[in-house]
Structure 1
Amino acid sequence: MKKTIFLLIIFFNPLAWAKVDLKKVDQFIQSVAAEIEVEPQWIRNILAQANHQQSIIDAMNRPAEKTLKWFEYRKIFITDKRAQEGVEFWEQHEAVLNEVSAQSGVPAEIIVAIIGVETFYGRIKGNHKVLDALYTLAFDYPKRSPFFTSELKHFLQLAQENHIDPLSAKGSYAGAMGFGQFMPSSYRAYAVDYESDQVIDLINNPQDAIASVANYLNKHKWQPGGQVLSTTEKPSVAMKFNQLKPHMKDHKTQEHYTVLELDLENGEKQYWQGFQNFYVISRYNHSHMYVSAVYELSQNIKALRAEGSAQ
């Protein structure tokens, strides 16, 4: 039986249809309405409020992970302020972090650092309307249209499931939401109702966000007690650097690893070995620099917290 959801009548918004193929939009509406069992007009009314945003496409074409070198990227996230506020976030949510870490096997400092890199502990969650971002990228970003079309469908499902307001939810230019910047599909697959109050809120509830980040890493096969990164010397043999999946084997430890080559400000290179947990964090963001920043920030937060406890 199809579910009918009442929505106030929305006037047609001509900006919603700029630079898109209306036939594809209509096909999407009909297909998704049948799949998630809602009236097509419900979807049509929501999409009528979407605005095509060229700035979103521009941002997609120049992500920091692809335009900056490591020393430039690092300066954004590895700061005293971000480490200090990480300690404060940890102390504020210590009980939740302790419980979630014990259950998932993911260290508290890793969870805190991911939220710190993603949104500065919830301070910078993004100012783009998620509907605008996903609509623009689904219908006017051909090279990744299938991915964002799927995310738009999941976004509508989140609205149907009453987890978000589709007309007001804000996030990144790619449509990621909340403290941990979950894409709609990840929101639906990995979000956790920490308080068991029948409401999963990753946008405004840091406790749900903490539990969900840990669950995401756990479901992607985090190894409790395993290494993320360790320093190493420049390899003596030619190889491809900065691959995400560990593909070489240490015959002494039997661990698989990958090797990172990171550019330093003085023109020199820094080398790291990345292990299984490095790869797990990269499932969150497919960038070796992102994982490196998360790990370094996590260690800075952990050390600063320990220093404060010792005083």
Structure 2
Amino acid sequence: MQGPRGLAVIAGAGLSLLALAAEAALDFDPARHEAVGALVEELAEKGIERDWLEAAMRDADFQQGVLDAMAGAAERHLRWDEYREIFLQPERISRGVAFIEAHRDAFDRAEAEYGVPPEMIAAIIGVETSYGRFTGRHRVLDSLSTLAFHHPVRGDFFRGELAAFLEITREQGVDPGSLDGSYAGAMGYPQFIPTSYRAYAVDFDGDGIRDLWTNPVDAIGSVGNYFAEHGWRPGAPIYHDAEGPGDLPGRVEFNQTRPPYADIATLAGVGIVPRGELAVDREVVPLALDFEDGAYRYRVGHRNFYVITRYNHSHLYAMAVTELAEAIRDARALEATPLTPPGDDSEGAS
């Protein structure tokens, strides 16, 4: 029979075993986890050194905060005026102007090659990371490992992102544990997820490396390439303002992030009329932007608006990027306009 001390020792041993079991469940040692080992095996068969892969995964740490952040991603709905206020700040606009001026050659080349205006590329980078100033505080390796093996719904998706991340870092000779990004594993100036990095990142400065983490020139070209690959139409409009009723028409689906789907004639039938001449059979994305007073501002998005939503599947995001791009464009035009000296009325003299 065990005395009280013996029972305490047994109980303590049991708690220690539970703690060890819990710790083992949350690490990513391929030798102890079948799913992690399978990923290592898959990448080893592609030619990545097994020792390197195993060391990388042993270095990964489980992060509960990443799962918490993912669970809270679908937070309360922000009205358009609330969302807009986050990004349409004078400092972000002025930084966008300065960012373009600092890398004018790269922006000009990106526009010539991909057809995307400088202010649009700058606005994407400005919204994502404030022009590279805030690229994330989570180790990408930790975030993607946690999501790949512990997310209850999207584990398979993030397993693919983790595999792509390991491939990229090995190819480029980068320590996977050295890179920070978002809680969802987005990286660098433009916050590309690893599969987008593989598909759309370009070596825009010709140094032989596609570096979106520290190289703004590669980031500029890569955003331009991303837009071009998703069907950006140079010179085409992004949206038109529209007039509409005080109450949302129930027969129209608003703010959908899919290709233009409602024609102008149908919208006119419920009182939504774009400002400008558009063919009655022209298909658009009906947008209703809400404000604190309950009022709506109507717009219609075109194909280029849809392309912006491929970067982030949110109509608020696409409109914020668009308005920031417009503000940067207008600020650049204002700076480029020579001022008339005080008292100079020669233009009106006869």
Do the two structures share a fold, i.e. TM-score over 0.5?
yes
Cα distance in 2 between the residues matched to 1:87 and 1:172? 25
Rg bigger for which structure? Answer: 2
Cα distance in 2 between the residues matched to 1:163 and 1:86? 31
Paired position in structure 1 for 2:103: 93
* TM-score, length basis structure 2: 0.80
Question: What secondary structure sits across from 2:240 in the alignment?
Answer: strand
Asked whether the 8 Å contact 1:177–1:203 carries over to 2, the reply is: yes
**Gap runs ≥5 in structure 2:** 1-21, 266-277, 340-350
Paired position in structure 1 for 2:39: 28
How many residues get paired?
A: 297
Instruction: Compute the displacement of 1:232 (Å).
Output: 1.4
Cα distance in 2 between the residues matched to 1:167 and 1:41? 15
Cα distance in 2 between the residues matched to 1:18 and 1:68? 34
Aligned CA distance change for structure 1 residues 16 and 52 (closer, same or farther; 3 Å): farther
Structural mapping, 1:1-311, within 5 Å:
17-18=25-26, 22-34=33-45, 36-63=46-73, 67-162=77-172, 164-234=174-244, 238-245=251-258, 246-250=260-264, 252-253=278-279, 254-310=281-337, 311=339
Instruction: Compute the displacement of 1:66 (Å).
Output: 5.8
Cα distance in 2 between the residues matched to 1:166 and 1:53? 16
Instruction: Compute the displacement of 1:47 (Å).
Output: 0.8
Question: What secondary structure sits across from 1:187 in the alignment?
Answer: helix
* TM-score, length basis structure 1: 0.90
Asked whether the 8 Å contact 2:27–2:61 carries over to 1, the reply is: no
Instruction: Compute the displacement of 1:179 (Å).
Output: 0.6
Cα distance in 1 between the residues matched to 2:308 and 2:168? 25
Instruction: Compute the displacement of 1:75 (Å).
Output: 1.3
Structure 1 residue ranges (4+ consecutive) displaced by more than 6 angstroms after TM superposition = none
Instruction: Compute the displacement of 1:44 (Å).
Output: 1.7
Question: What secondary structure sits across from 1:167 in the alignment?
Answer: helix
Give CA deviations for 1:50-98 in whole Å, capped at 9, x if unaligned: 1111111111122277642222221111111111111111111112101
Cα distance in 1 between the residues matched to 2:98 and 2:216? 13
| More displaced 10-residue stretch of structure 1: 281-290 or 160-169 | 160-169
Question: What secondary structure sits across from 2:109 in the alignment?
Answer: helix
Instruction: Compute the displacement of 1:240 (Å).
Output: 1.2
Alignment RMSD: 2.0
**Gap runs ≥5 in structure 1:** 1-13
Cα distance in 2 between the residues matched to 1:157 and 1:70? 39
Asked whether the 8 Å contact 1:65–1:287 carries over to 2, the reply is: no
Cα distance in 1 between the residues matched to 2:68 and 2:173? 29
Asked whether the 8 Å contact 1:163–1:201 carries over to 2, the reply is: no
